[in-house]
Amino acid sequence: MKSGNLWLRRLEIGLLAAGLVLVTVFVAVKVQSRISAGLAVKKFTAEQTVALRDTNESSVMQARGDVDFSLWSNNRIKDYLASLEDITETPEAVLRIPKLHLEVPVYEGTDEPVLNRGLGRIIGTARLGETGNTGIAGHRDGFFRSLKDIGPGDTLELVLPHRTDHYLVTNIIITNPDDVSVLAPSSAASLTLVTCYPFYFVGSAPQRYIVQAFFDEPSLLSGEPTIKLQSR
């Protein structure tokens, strides 16, 4: 009986040891699995961060390549590039001026973030594409500095989601900031481009440079692909 009990005791000890070994192996595997998973997540996060950074840098570089900064001030370039990081809205239209090789998105409103990344419709004037006098503002040391080279007879194109409207420049006016007559309502379809003047004035420019253009010829996009406007 004693030898049988001893055998059973040894068997119990052996099974207990085997169980402890299995539990230890199981715990080790679980810990290793969690460590590996954690490392994998960290690696993925790190690679994703690098990819997003590269994507952002690529987008900025692409934006730099799409815009001619040769006439821009250094501060305006900096503000424009910074504005690309926080674009949340789609432009209402795109203004093209073939003579100036200019193509700029037009947004609603004229607050600083809008004018840093494009042009803005002056609130209170006719909406883009509607009959009336539509005022569009831009910075003189940014997109609108090239307006210094525009003149009567030149053409403007307002690209809307489903058509492109053409305008003919008729007048260039230099006036004071408090002269709102240039934005007066009109029964005719017209664009009034507004920027500060003189173009290279140091500090806050004292005057306004006005380009008036009237509707010339509609170009409905029948048979042409619909233009989809996207943020830069």
For the residues of 143-163, what is the DSSP string, one character each?
Answer: GGGGGGG--TT-EEEEEETTE
pLDDT number for residue 88:
64
Q: Which pLDDT value is given to residue 75?
A: 87
Task: Write out the H or E segment, with its range, that includes residue 83.
Answer: helix 74-83
CATH number of 73-220: 2.40.260.10
Closest CA to 157 of 215, 211, 223, 224: 215
pLDDT in tens, the chain (232 residues): 556 667 677 767 777 777 776 766 666 554 554 444 444 445 444 544 444 444 344 333 334 457 888 888 888 888 888 887 766 678 899 999 999 999 999 999 999 989 998 999 999 999 999 999 999 999 999 999 999 999 999 999 999 988 999 999 999 999 999 999 999 999 999 999 999 999 999 889 999 999 999 998 654 433 333 333 333 3
Q: How many Å is the Cα radius of gyration of the chain?
A: 33
Element (H, E) at 15: helix 2-66
DSSP state of 206: S
Other CB atoms within 10 Å distance of the CB of residue 136: 26
In sequence order, the 6+-apart residues with CB closer than 8 A to the CB of 193 are 136, 137, 138, 144, 147, 156, 210, 211, 213
Q: Is residue 121 classed as helix, strand or coil in its secondary structure?
A: strand
pLDDT tens digits for 188-206? 999 999 999 999 998 899 9
Cβ atoms of 213 and 169 closer than 8 Å: yes
Instruction: Write down the domain spans for the chain.
Output: 1-66, 73-220
Confidence (pLDDT) at 26: 60
Helix 74-83 to helix 2-66 angle, to the nearest 10 degrees? 140
| 214/183 Cα distance (integer angstroms) | 13
Report residue 65 as tokens.
């390549």
